[in-house]
Amino acid sequence: MPTVADDSSAPAAAITQLQLGEVALSCVVESQGPLLDPFELYPEATPSLLEAHLHWLAPRFYDRAAGRFVIAIQGFVLQSGGKVIVVDTCVGDCKARVRGEFNAASWGWLARLRAAGVRPEQVDYVVCSHFHVDHVGWNTRLENGKWVPTFPNARYLFTREEWDYWWSERGNWGRARTGDYMDDSVLPITEAGLADFVAMDHRIDAAIALEPAPGHTPGLVAVGIASGTARAVLASDLLHTPLQCACPQLSTRFCADPALSRATRLAFLEREAQSGRLVIPAHFPAPSAGVIERAGDAYRFRPTAGAVLKATPGGV
């Protein structure tokens, strides 16, 4: 069984597969590397706060030379009861974006999804944990100059809270910051009649249900998995880096409601430190799974290697 690499120069696992009871989970990475400046990500962080945590953050979670957090962007595939469920669809290729790293990208995540054993036509459900640029990209692909649904036979599960927010005045401002991904990655889905608006606690099947986690965005959902004795949660952007376990007060610059984001994160950490569920945040370097533990009056993230069935290096 692979162990969690302590050396950030080791090739990142492009595909990590875990078996959770009857549910098979593949974590399919689109990109991984030093991306976010700590003070861009966390406006309330100070150099001395960061310095106090660098001894454990680097090199796995923080690249000292680049002065940036190591960030994975990934989507997940759940295979459960004969259904195929994709959770989050990364940045995508060929899209016009404000952030240089995301603009007109060509990471080939769809090919990697095929390498994980999933053809787009097989996908039954697509869940967007929220409508941020790095979670909706492969909702659509370019065909003859038009954005068309990548997963033509899927129902795309959206929450009304998220949808409404992005058409509000504040949402308009957020879209201007990152490029108008609603137009090229969300609207083509509703226009094709493939979207279902579901409650934030919507149950997909006996093993998988959405869990409300508002704050980072108003309609953000985690995805809980319970099968046999296995318990896990795809935690989306409840945590961007494990520094938020040690310093749960840190909300990001990208949080729509930083105070609510903080309250939701604190409740999540408290709950998961007791639940012992496998926690899989969207942006922790692969393999991203671990457990939350109490550490004094805060928490720590302990990466778990034992649950990983297979890690496929893929030059991401």
The residues that touch Zn ion, with contacts defined as CB under 5 A, are 134, 237
Shortest distance, CB of residue 216 to Zn ion, whole angstroms?
Answer: 8
Shortest distance, CB of residue 135 to Zn ion, whole angstroms?
Answer: 6
Nearer to Zn ion, 184 or 237 (CB): 237
Nearer to Zn ion, 63 or 237 (CB): 237
- The residue count of the chain comes to 316
Shortest distance, CB of residue 132 to Zn ion, whole angstroms?
Answer: 5
Nearer to Zn ion, 124 or 248 (CB): 248
Nearer to Zn ion, 75 or 303 (CB): 75
Shortest distance, CB of residue 220 to Zn ion, whole angstroms?
Answer: 10
DSSP per-residue codes, the chain: -PPPPS-TTSPPEEEEEEEETTEEEEEEEEEEEEEE-HHHH-TT--HHHHHHHHHHHTTTTEETTTTEEEEEEEEEEEEETTEEEEE---S-SS---SSTTTTT----HHHHHHHTT--GGG--EEE-SS--TTTSGGGEEEETTEEEESSTTPEEEEEHHHHHHHTSHHHHHHHHHH--HIIIIIHHHHHTT-EEEE-TT-B-SSSEEEEE--SSSTT-EEEEEEETTEEEEEEETT-SSTHHHH-TT---TT-SSHHHHHHHHHHHHHHHHHH--EEEESSSPSS--EEEEEETTEEEEEE--TTEEEEEE---
Shortest distance, CB of residue 227 to Zn ion, whole angstroms?
Answer: 26
Residue 296, Cβ neighbours under 10 Å: how many? 7
Half-sphere exposure at residue 52, Cβ-oriented, CA atoms within 13 angstroms: 8
Shortest distance, CB of residue 301 to Zn ion, whole angstroms?
Answer: 17
Nearer to Zn ion, 110 or 255 (CB): 255
Shortest distance, CB of residue 68 to Zn ion, whole angstroms?
Answer: 15
Nearer to Zn ion, 134 or 184 (CB): 134
Nearer to Zn ion, 211 or 237 (CB): 237
